[in-house]
Amino acid sequence: MRDQFETVIGLEVHVELATSSKIFCSCSTKFGQKVNTQVCPVCMGMPGALPVLNKKVVDYAMAIGLATNCEITKNSRFDRKNYFYPDNPQNYQISQLYFPIARNGYIEIELEDQKKRIGIHEMHMEEDAGKLIHDEWEDASLVDYNRSGVPLVEIVSEPDLSSPEEVVAYLETLRRTIQYLGASDCKLQEGSMRVDVNLSVKKLGSKELGTRTEMKNLNSFKAIKRAIIEERNRQIEVLEDGKQVVQETRRWDDNKETSYAMRSKEEAQDYRYFPDPDLVPLLISDEWIDQIQKSQPELRGDKKKRYIEEYKLPEYDADILTQSKKMADIFEETLQWCRQPKKVSNWLMVETFRLLKENNMEPEDIRFSPENLGKLINLTLDGGINNTVAKEVFEEVFYKNIDPEAYVQENGLKAIDDTEALKEVIQKILQDNPKSVEDFKGGKEKAFGFLVGQTMKVMKGKANPTLVNQILREIL
């Protein structure tokens, strides 16, 4: 039965822009500060306070618009969206309804073997709301307005998506593009990127769209995928029971893996949008658009191409390293310390990604300095340390950002290349393990491995394995 339905999904993505001040006042946007310390009469909605637009917000919004193939609206304007809620001190949110900054764009997503173009209906600039904290002791809520007035863009896609995989591919592509532009760090967990999923189902091949619901409170790609599957199934069940899907906003509960209706259409707000008289219209010139276009940073496609041409990296490496702007930055900065692109790439693709995965971290969470990684690689290249030791030292670099040169020195980890000293140790081991020596001479390669292992053990892993192999073969 389920196969007879298709899913239609459109996304509304809110992204917090990386400005240092708010959209309409000069309060700081810094995250995690003491409550209500980054506020002023404007962002607390005091009567008579007047908003003044932050130019950088328009620059970033245009940069995102251009990078997503949108048309920039030359006569753009702000509107008031009216509603009462304590996180919104003015009783209206300044947003854009009639003339959003950008429209009619698209993003190309890569699926397993094909590409798909996902339309962007429009993108508008608006202000964020404050934060409500539930008071455990009193039957009340507390409001912190530090986030009130932080600049956002909302990117509204066309309903061109049809599966969780496509949704995640779209979001990853969008996030990467915005991160490359430096317009936002786009962290789902911290709320600098928020995704609302509009979903409906319809009979296979039917032209008519079904009634859609809007899903909120999705804090990870995993939650988004799960919520899409659950909501699709829920709507199909409703329809198969002969009932109607109700147009409503639902809240995803990630612990219970289910959603519940937040408010129904009956009590839905009438936002009474109208042009904000406190803000004059924007008139965007061709020169301004040109200037933004010219200062766009190198985006992923170009970077990937350059890695292959300039650094002679395999396409596979270039693809993985450029998946996140942060990883690409670390790669390029490490090259300042160690001019061997392929070696640097290997350390990032193997050891770094291994530890990221083990710790459930994103490249954005990396704290070590490229200088320390570069130094570590250099130590392995000039034979200062062997690979086993290098991996151990790398963990120290990864977790504590230690200086590998000093660390190797202090802990006496330098590889031992002294042939005479090694010979002595090996002679002793051969005497202690006559059985293995005999086995090896009888043709058992395994016994050789055992003897190498014994040597490394005695040398506490500091011997140069190539040298150990060589000496062992010589003696035997």
Q: In whole angstroms, what is the distance from residue 360 CA to residue 296 CA?
A: 32
| 108 to 137: interface string for other proteins, x by CB under 8 A | ------------------------xxxx--
Nearer to other proteins, 260 or 399 (CB): 260
Q: Looking at 4, 26, 162, 233, which residue binds other proteins (CB under 8 A)?
A: 26
Tell whether residue 355 is a contact of other proteins (CB under 8 A): no
Nearest-approach distance from CB 213 to other proteins, in angstroms: 16
Amino acid identity for residue 458 in this structure: V
Nearest-approach distance from CB 352 to other proteins, in angstroms: 33
Tell whether residue 272 is a contact of other proteins (CB under 8 A): yes
Tell whether residue 258 is a contact of other proteins (CB under 8 A): no
Task: Name beta bridge partners: 16.
Answer: 152
Q: In whole angstroms, what is the distance from residue 30 CA to residue 47 CA?
A: 25
Q: In whole angstroms, what is the distance from residue 26 CA to residue 35 CA?
A: 17
Tell whether residue 166 is a contact of other proteins (CB under 8 A): no
Nearer to other proteins, 15 or 463 (CB): 15
Part in contact with other proteins (CB under 8 A); list of ranges 44-52, 118-126, 359-367, 442-450: 44-52
Residue of 64, 91, 262 whose CA lies nearest to 175: 64
Which residue's structure tokens are 């050789």? 448
Tell whether residue 142 is a contact of other proteins (CB under 8 A): yes
Residue of 2, 432, 9, 385 whose CA lies nearest to 196: 9
Expressed in angstroms, the distance from the first to the final Cα of the chain is 71
Part in contact with other proteins (CB under 8 A); list of ranges 47-55, 101-109, 205-213, 228-236: 47-55
| 50 to 79: interface string for other proteins, x by CB under 8 A | --xxxxxxx------------------x--
Nearer to other proteins, 196 or 333 (CB): 196
Q: Which bin fits 181, alpha (ψ -120 to 50), beta or left (φ > 0)? A: alpha
Amino acid identity for residue 338 in this structure: C
Amino acid identity for residue 265 in this structure: K
Q: Looking at 14, 28, 308, 417, which residue binds other proteins (CB under 8 A)?
A: 28
- DSSP class of residue 414 equals P
Write the CA distances from 60 to 11, 24, 106, integer angstroms: 20, 15, 17
Chain positions contacting other proteins, by CB under 8 A: 19-22, 26-30, 34-41, 44, 46, 52-58, 77, 82-87, 132-135, 138-145, 251, 262-263, 269-270, 272, 275, 277, 279-283
